[in-house]
Amino acid sequence: MENLRYFCTVVQTGNLAEAADRLGRTQSALSTSLKNIESHLGVKLFDGERKNRLSLAGEQIYELAKHQIQEFDLTIQQMETQVKATKGLVRIASVPSVAAIVFPTLLNNLHKQYPGVKVELRDTDTQQVLNALVNAKADIGITSGFHPVNGFAATRLFNDSFGLVCKANHALITQKKSPSIQEVVTTDFVRNSLCDLIKTPSFVAALNHVDVTVHNNQSLINIIRTGRWVSVLPKAVSDYLPNDVAFRALSNLPDKREVWLYYKEQSRYQELIDACCELIDAVKRDDGIDWLKNDT
């Protein structure tokens, strides 16, 4: 693992001298480490003698090595957290739009009921939430859409309508009639990963002609704030939109996002996990989202 760490640091700094200074090692030690990797794999890591340009094989090895180091460091961090969590540990991963709703209230109530408990919260996309559950990096997960996960029970939290998101003074917001799919997608439309949950045929067909996709919601909102671009997102995002960005329902888009809660069925801290799920269930909303309703 140390050889891989040395290699990645050399790649990130672009030369042996800076990498050696950052790692507290000698340049000769790093050079020997790189040669050992090349000898073991039978490939050259860099083009030429300078360490500022990777070979094709080096590029592939770097991506794999970087991932392995991140996983190793995270595992060590989790082990240290587990050891220190004498009063319990709960790790929750959620899609951002629901994390913004749930996390503040959950954290306040959790610390009142269980002082001293270690809590880890992360907001990320659905696939990364599922990865965290599968790889034992989260005990509770909240996702968009249902995806079976072995060892976890699942319950639906709420149904969330999709709608237009754009600049508050955009013509599609200010017009009297509710905009249609055709009006929205034929404008300067930005696709996002949640669009894949929409199954209305006219919307799916229209996406084939969309050229821009943004996967990060914060980046998406910043692009929308320029005034030119529009997108479609679940209504839950309207709670944390900037004042100059607005949400509006579409006239012919009946699809709803289903938000699901996953929780470990067997855990060292099962009582704590169950309590967190109850606290999440207790979050009530009165802004039109079908919170904790199972009707579609």
For residue 154, what pLDDT band results from cuts at 50, 70 and 90?
Answer: very high
Assess contact for 130 and 204: CB atoms under 8 A.
Answer: no
Using alpha carbons only, give the angle 117, 122, 125 rounded to the nearest 5 degrees. Answer: 150
* 86 CB-near residues (< 8 Å, 6+ apart): 116
Write out the residue range of the structural domain in which residue 227 sits: 161-255
**The length of the chain, given as a count of residues:** 296
Place of tokens 């009639």: 177
Q: Which of 45, 66, 82 is the last residue of a domain?
A: 82
> Is the torsion defined by CA of 269, 272, 276, 282 positive or negative?
positive
**Domain assignment present for 91:** yes
Region 268-281: mean pLDDT is 87
In a domain, 296, yes or no: no
More confident residue, 171 or 72: 171
What is the per-residue pLDDT across 110-128, written as a single tens digit (0 to 9) for each? 888 888 888 889 999 899 9
CATH number at residue 7: 1.10.10.10
- Give the span between the Cα atoms of 195 and 273, in whole angstroms: 31
Q: Are residues 248 and 165 in the same domain?
A: yes
pLDDT at 292: 44
| Domain end (from 38, 57, 82) | 82
Please indicate, yes or no, whether residues 238 and 176 belong to a single structural domain of this protein: yes
pLDDT digits (tens, 9 = 90+) for 222-274: 999 999 999 999 998 877 889 999 999 999 999 999 999 999 887 777 888 99
Q: How confident is the model at residue 289 (pLDDT cuts 50, 70, 90)?
A: very low
- Name the pLDDT band for 287 (thresholds 50, 70, 90): very low
- What is the per-residue pLDDT for 294? 41
Residue 238's domain is classified under what CATH number? 3.40.190.10
Question: Are 153 and 261 members of one domain?
Answer: yes
Same domain flag for 108 and 192: no
Domain boundary among 82, 111, 133: 82
Q: What is the pTM of this model?
A: 0.68
51 — pLDDT class (breaks 50, 70, 90): confident
Q: Give the per-residue pLDDT at 82.
A: 60
148 shares its domain with 287: yes
Residue 203 shares a structural domain with residue 78: no
Q: What is the pLDDT of residues 159-198, one digit of tens each?
A: 889 999 999 999 999 999 999 999 998 879 999 989 999 9
Same domain for 60 and 11: yes
Are 59 and 98 members of one domain? no
On average, the pLDDT of the chain sits at: 86
229 in any annotated domain: yes
Q: What is the distance between the terminal CA atoms of the chain, rounded to a whole angstrom?
A: 50
Task: Mark whether 14 and 93 lie in a shared domain.
Answer: no
| 238 and 215 housed in the same domain | yes
Q: How far apart are CA 285 and CA 25, in angstroms?
A: 56
Show the beta-strand stretches assigned E in 59-188.
Answer: 89-94, 118-123, 140-144, 152-167
229 near 166, Cβ under 8 Å?
Answer: yes
Residue 268 lies in a domain: yes
Q: Is residue 154 located within the same domain as residue 261?
A: yes
Q: How confident is the model at residue 291 (pLDDT cuts 50, 70, 90)?
A: very low
pLDDT at 80: 63
Packing angle between helix 96-113 and helix 217-224, nearest 10 degrees? Answer: 120
Cα angle for residues 25, 31, 34 (degrees, 5° grid): 110
Question: Looking at the 3D structure of the chain, how many domains does it have?
Answer: 3
The reply to whether 8 falls in a domain is yes
Judge whether 241 lies within some domain: yes
Query: For residue 33, is it within any domain?
Result: yes
Average pLDDT of 87-95? 87
Residues 109, 135: one domain? yes
CA–CA distance from 282 to each of 123, 157, 235 (Å)?
Answer: 20, 11, 20
Q: How far apart are CA 200 and CA 203, in angstroms?
A: 5
